[in-house]
Chain A
């Protein structure tokens, strides 16, 4: 066979049908839908620590419930991630704003606030005729601009198109929302001309280590809005004393108060110093006297700690605020604990050898890159679409020096892809500027416990 005949044969070989090629787009879509956002809480001076849950798929029933109020319809669609905010919109518990600023080729417009005693949700849009893909990095300051207030904030709507509604949630743990706040938005251009090199895997990995944000010169516009809150909204919220002690899994906890705000409900807890485990999660729901059920917050901050121990001091549920209930029942069905002798977990990043692992958790992989290690742990998925947190906010070296974990990324390993047919979540964390072989991380929990009969606490 001469070269030309070989060439013809090779072309024929390439024409062999490959039916799997038809499904390439579907596979990519499925994989993309599994990829969660990287969660990077920006924590102000609050001493508390936060526990979060990421929800993959939102449900959208409230978008239809609000269709009779045209002005708020779009807002209703923007808050489907939170049943409490959806209720707020449906009850027109919204402070309209009309703050517009233009800087160069970008215009920013703050349109609505949903604010109560403990939380501010800012709804805004970005417009540009020049840039096709832009995003804002938010920063929150006190009204006089001198200091960051004691809050944490997170941004939603990273993938929104120009002109679509985006939101920022500003959350106050112990302090109350002040009369006003200053919101700074620095806008970055994410559009590409088509001539750029695609990001390499190494660049994507390095990017994971940069929770602080880009260099100043990369911003194309900057805005600063003074958000003045209507006092009738910032005063909204009430606290009910409970002071009831219950025993769960041999550990004693006291429910001290229930706080009810339009944006969420809090159950405040103190644990007994004699307990052998920290309470890291409470499985519960709230039932009203009309038999309505309110679930724990399923996306965003689900609990906050006091900083005095590893126990969570306050758990969050969807709000009963708009339902005017006279009696509430807290129905506890289980708990998640962190044994006090399992606060640190040893991992050899090179060999994968570990100390005693939490239930259902395994080492997945570790990869050293220029900026440090990327550690992946896997855990059996507890509920379809939900990603729970496996590792805490800090890690330690052999000398006991403490380092911070500033971002988490979570993906799903589907049952059909895993070796044992079980669906896992894989949590990826960057160990920044760390190049040692051994590390000690903080597991978020050691085990779960489920009550044979639910424990009920009555709240008047």
Chain B
């Protein structure tokens, strides 16, 4: 992949990355910072990518890591507890945006990539480096907790 191709790829994916970060972090400024950091890290190492077809899932993984790091930083100042999968009533009581943010990490990742950033189930599984079946199970659990009735197609 040369520099021009890298630029085109970034142009195509930046909005998707931003949406993912925005849902994850809940702040436009933090989301933009996470995308900036992700693009910088990708720029520093994209030449090492042996198979450019993995670019989208690779850069998404960088972004997810950035979002986790940011949440870890925030926890020091403003603890935001994840709710366990058994806390169905608490999830019901929360607005959707807040409920997503308080999902267990594994479920949150899947639901954000699938239903807000527009990744297919296959892309979601590849980005998170989990089997597709696991992604499908987590997706189902997350939708159930959120009481959100959306399509759950497992193969696309």
List residues of chain A with CB under 8 Å of any chain B CB: 3-4, 6-7, 10-11, 14, 18, 20-21, 24-25, 27-29, 31-32, 35, 132-133, 159, 161, 190-195, 197-201
Contact = CB atoms under 8 A, between A and B. Distances in A.
Listed from nearest, the 7 A-B pairs whose CB atoms lie closest are: A194-B54, A6-B96, A28-B40, A28-B39, A192-B48, A28-B43, A198-B62
B114 to A, nearest CB: 12
Nearest to A29: B43
Nearest to A14: B19
A132 B48 contact: yes
B129 A195 contact: yes
Given A18-B18, A24-B35, A10 B65 contact: no
Contacts of A27: 36, 39-40
Task: Give the one of B40, B54, B62, B65 with max A CB within 10 A.
Answer: B40
Interface stretch (B82-90, B130-138, B147-155): B147-155
Contacts of B7: 25
B148 A24 contact: no
Contact of A25 (B39, B47, B53, B116): B39
A194 B50 contact: yes
7 contacts: A6-B96, A7-B96, A21-B15, A32-B40, A132-B48, A191-B49, A198-B45
A190 B10 CA distance: 22
A191 B50 contact: yes
A18 B28 CA distance: 8
Given A6-B95, A24-B39, A25-B39, A192 B28 contact: no
Interface residues of B, number: 46
B119 interface: no
B44 interface: yes
B75 interface: no
Given A18-B18, A24-B36, A133 B116 contact: no
Interface string B113-128: 0011000000000000
B32 interface: yes
Q: Is the interface of B mostly helix, strand, loop or mixed?
A: helix
Contacts of B53: 194
B103 interface: no
Interface in B1-16: 7, 10-11, 14-15
A14 B44 CA distance: 28
Nearest to A200: B65
Contacts of A159: 47
B76 to A, nearest CB: 15
Given A7-B150, A10-B97, A194-B54, A201 B116 contact: no
Task: Give the one of A32, A161, A198 with max B CB within 10 A.
Answer: A198
Interface string B77-107: 0000000000000000001110000000000
A6 B92 CA distance: 13
Contacts of A4: 148-149
A191 B55 CA distance: 14
A18 B62 contact: no
A24 B48 contact: no
A32 B43 contact: yes
Given A4-B148, A32-B44, A201 B36 contact: no
A181 B48 CA distance: 32
Contacts of A14: 19, 22-23, 116
B43 A193 contact: no
B22 A201 contact: no
Nearest to B35: A24
A28 B36 contact: yes
Given A28-B36, A28-B43, A194-B49, A21 B116 contact: no
Task: Give the one of B28, B43, B116, B147 with max A CB within 10 A.
Answer: B43
Interface in B48-67: 48-55, 57-58, 61-62, 65
Given A32-B43, A198-B62, 8 more contacts: A6-B95, A7-B96, A14-B22, A21-B14, A21-B15, A24-B14, A25-B7, A201-B69
B110 interface: no
A193 B129 CA distance: 13
B141 interface: no
Given A3-B96, A194-B54, A197-B61, A133 B40 contact: no
Contacts of B41: 198
Contacts of B19: 14
Contacts of A190: 48
Contact of B148 (A3, A21, A192, A193): A3
A159 B48 CA distance: 10
A192 B36 contact: no
A174 B123 CA distance: 60
Contact of A192 (B39, B44, B49): B49
B142 interface: no
A174 to B, nearest CB: 39
A24 B10 CA distance: 9
A25 B5 CA distance: 12
